[in-house]
């Protein structure tokens, strides 16, 4: 009975040793997977930071562009007002504005000459410049 116990104990020890080796192999596989995932997470973090920086730059650029657009709109509005004032102050400009509107409505050279009191050459010129 002593030999049987010794054989059973030896088989138990060998089985435990096999199980330990199996667990070590599985542990190495898991460690390799964890290492691979760690590398992926670090790369993902690096890419996220790069995208975050790019997004910040885009936001800053957009804000700058928005400010420039507002500034340009103000300048355009001021220039439009100045142009309107200039055209209203010059009586001759009113006649030309009226002539241009008439051309847009389909008026001919004779109508421009009569209604706006323009010489024939000016009426023809306005007609050629503003006919659609």
**Element holding 39 (H helix, E strand):** helix 2-89
- Report, as an integer, the average pLDDT of 104-120: 88
CB atoms under 10 Å from CB of 126, counted, come to 21
- Whole-structure pTM value: 0.44
For 90, the 3-state DSSP assignment is: coil
Statement: residue 90 has pLDDT above 80: no
pLDDT at 93: 67
**Which tokens belong to 124?**
């023809």
Yes or no: say if 74 and 95 are a contact pair by the CB < 8 Å rule: no
Yes or no: say if 112 and 126 are a contact pair by the CB < 8 Å rule: yes
pLDDT at 1: 67
């Amino acid at each position: 009975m002593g030999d049987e116990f010794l054989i059973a104990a030896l088989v138990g020890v060998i089985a435990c040793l096999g199980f330990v080796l199996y667990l070590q192999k599985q542990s190495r596989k898991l460690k390799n997977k964890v290492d691979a995932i760690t590398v992926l997470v670090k790369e993902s973090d690096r890419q996220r930071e790069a995208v975050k920086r790019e997004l910040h730059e885009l936001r800053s650029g957009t804000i700058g562009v928005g400010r420039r657009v507002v500034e340009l709109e103000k300048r355009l509005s001021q220039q439009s007002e100045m142009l309107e004032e200039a055209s209203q102050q010059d009586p001759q400009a009113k006649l030309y504005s009226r002539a241009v509107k008439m051309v847009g409505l389909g008026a001919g050279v004779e109508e421009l000459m009569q209604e706006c009191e323009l010489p024939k050459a000016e009426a023809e010129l306005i007609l050629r410049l503003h006919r659609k």
